[in-house]
Amino acid sequence: MTIDWTAFTPWHALAGGALIGLAAALLVLLNGRIAGISGVLGALLVPKRGDIAWRVAFIGGLVAAPFVYTLFDALPLPRIDASMGALAAAGLLVGIGTRYGSGCTSGHGVCGLSRLSPRSLVATLAFMGAGFATVFVLRHIVGA
């Protein structure tokens, strides 16, 4: 392992992270809900009366965020290297896995760890470990 100092952006990471924490704080303190994106989105596939509008609003806010960002600064465009086939397979795995495991990076990683939940700690270690292993295999074994 070597640290890639040219790619490391500590101040942006801390500022963006604080905003993510603030968003989770807003949702729980104002609305009493967990900002877990897979859960907020997934429950819309089996909608229950009276439990739809806030979910649509939260997801709408996420999708509209790039537009709001452009009001202040030029938008940094993402680099998506994965092939269409890989994106499709990855999408399926992320969809099934986050629902089966009851959460993703936001629900378990940010909110769960903030709540000091042992369940979320186990989930976070599992998906981070699997993420490290997958990138290791794809970049250094298959791609080497």
Residues between 52 and 81 with contacts to another protein, criterion CB under 8 A: 53-55, 57-69, 75-81
Q: Is 136 in the site for another protein (CB under 8 A)?
A: yes
Closest contact distance (angstroms) between CB of 107 and another protein is 9
Q: Does 115 bind another protein (CB under 8 A)?
A: yes
Report how far residue 117's alpha carbon sits from residue 115's, in angstroms, rounded to the nearest whole number.
5
Nearest-10 Cα torsion for 7, 21, 76, 86: 80
The yes or no reply on residue 96 touching another protein (CB under 8 A) is yes
- The verdict on 9 binding another protein (CB under 8 A) reads yes
| Residue in 48, 49, 74, 140 binding another protein, rule: CB under 8 A | 140
Which of 23, 47, 49, 74 binds another protein (CB under 8 A)? It is: 23
Which of 60-89 are b and which e, b meaning 16 or more Cβ less than 10 Å from the residue's Cβ?
A: eeeeeeeeeeeeeeeeeeeeeeeeeeeeee
